[in-house]
Amino acid sequence: MSNWFASVLTVQPEMFPGPLGMSLSGKALAERKWSLETVDMRAFSTTRYGSIDDTPAGGGPGMVMRADFVAAAVDSVARNGRPLILLSPRGVPFTQARARELAHGPGAVLVCGRYEGIDERVIEARAMQEISMGDYVLSGGELAAMALIDACVRLLPGVVGDDQSLDEESFEDGLLEYPHYTRPPSWEGRDIPSILMSGHHQRIRDWRRERAIELTKARRPDMWDAYLKRAPKTKH
Instruction: Return residues touching ligand SAH (CB under 6 A).
Output: 87-90, 112-114, 116-117, 132-134, 136-138, 140-141, 144
Q: Are strands 107-112 and 84-93 parallel, antiparallel or unpaired?
A: parallel
Residues near 134 by Cβ (< 8 Å), separated by ≥ 6?
93, 94
* Cβ-contact 147, 141 below 8 angstroms: no
Strand, coil or helix: 148: helix
Q: Which is nearer to ligand SAH, 116 or 150 (CB)?
A: 116
Q: Which is nearer to ligand SAH, 116 or 173 (CB)?
A: 116
Tell me how far, at minimum, the Cβ of 138 lies from ligand SAH, in Å.
Answer: 4
Tell me how far, at minimum, the Cβ of 12 lies from ligand SAH, in Å.
Answer: 11
* Cβ-contact 5, 29 below 8 angstroms: no
Q: Which is nearer to ligand SAH, 112 or 176 (CB)?
A: 112
Q: Determine the residue with CB nearest ligand SAH.
A: 113
Tell me how far, at minimum, the Cβ of 42 lies from ligand SAH, in Å.
Answer: 16
Q: Which is nearer to ligand SAH, 70 or 176 (CB)?
A: 70
Beta strands in the chain (DSSP E): 4-10, 34-40, 53-54, 64-65, 84-93, 107-112, 129-132, 186-187, 190-191
Closest by alpha carbon to 111, among 80, 73, 138, 151? 73
Tell me how far, at minimum, the Cβ of 149 lies from ligand SAH, in Å.
Answer: 13
Closest by alpha carbon to 25, among 172, 169, 149? 149
Q: Which is nearer to ligand SAH, 45 or 216 (CB)?
A: 45
Closest by alpha carbon to 89, among 53, 132, 128? 132
Q: At what angle do helices 23-30 and 142-153 cross, to 10 degrees?
A: 70
Q: Which is nearer to ligand SAH, 9 or 196 (CB)?
A: 9
Tell me how far, at minimum, the Cβ of 62 lies from ligand SAH, in Å.
Answer: 7
Tell me how far, at minimum, the Cβ of 38 lies from ligand SAH, in Å.
Answer: 15
